[in-house]
Amino acid sequence: MMDFSQLHRVADIAGCQATIRATEADFHVAEQLPFTPEGVGSHVWLYVQKIGTNTDWLSQQIARFANVSPVAVGYAGLKDRHAVTCQWFSVNLQGLPEPDWSQIEGPELTILKKVRHSKKLKRGALGGNQFKLRLTQIQGDKALWQANLERVAKYGVPNYFAEQRFGRQGLNLVKANDWFNGGPAPQKKNQRSMIISAARSWLYNLVLSERIKQQNWNQALAGDIMLLSGTRASYFLAEAADDVIEKRLLEMDIHPTGPLWGKGEAPNKLQSLALENEVLADWSQWQTSLEGLGLSHERRALRLFPENFTWEFSDDDSLTIAFDLPPGSYATAVLRELALITDASGSKTDI
């Protein structure tokens, strides 16, 4: 199975449907840095609001405007063109005069903040993202909508890698399967990276889907590896699901994890390991191939808790929701637990 739509949901969404991004203004996302820029240095960091603009394209425009090489411009991550997005860019102006940044502004670009720093902004250097989304053409029982919203606010959502990670119609998974079963390896480094990432993400999703089916995705199994909330790599082995573990789970202090496959012995044990072995029994060729690529076995939290989750229904059959997510997670994982969502933009950018 390589069909994202068949992965299990926690919520009953029967009859609940909505549209996202009927207009660009319906989708707001703002990057948060994990630190405060120093205020001095050769790199100018710009916090910009862009509308209907691709991140990579804008990076090139900034480089051209500042008269620097494209590699002198940095950004933490891609933000969708079909949205109103606020994100950081850095520009290395070592030995160069600073341009008048107001001259690059226009209807699609506003510079909100400017600060100096000693280093380039690197990919992945994010503290998280703040979302404000307007869903339109709401259909379905409002009581069911309300119940699902309250469930998300209290218990969070499955931390799926979103459908867009696997390429249009899951093409990255098809390419991975061909490669891992004797086909030619991708020649381009970025394509190779995307296919590997998609393959690891799919195996993780399969484990998460099964745990949702067994209703233990947000509970402890004997031998689970637990991730400390708010961290990316602070783990410990929970040999038994005792009262202390259960209390910490309820308080969202820790989260059970699933596998990001790679070389090395899986760190989980007992019931947790047995479940993962059973789910992935038919994917041994993928596992062997990923191990052979030199990737280390890693873990990812099975659940995602949207911070500051709020919502408001409007009289025009629309719903506005707002929440904060940590880096590496997807707004679509939240939306999936509310309704069947149609993206009017046709976008496949990670959100």
The residues annotated as belonging to the active site are 80
Q: If you compute the radius of gyration of the chain from its CA atoms, what whole number of angstroms results?
A: 22
Query: For residues 46 and 110, is the Cβ–Cβ distance under 8 A?
Result: no
Token pair belonging to 112: 């909100």
Residue with tokens 């991975």, as numbered in its chain: 176
Q: Which of 102, 167, 115, 183 is nearest to 348 (CA)?
A: 167
Element (H, E) at 109: strand 109-117
> Alpha-carbon torsion 271, 275, 276, 282, what sign?
positive
DSSP 144-165: HHHHHHHHHHHH-EE-PPPGGG
CA–CA distances in Å: residue 160 to residues 8, 59, 343, 351: 10, 29, 18, 12
Query: For residues 235 and 228, is the Cβ–Cβ distance under 8 A?
Result: yes
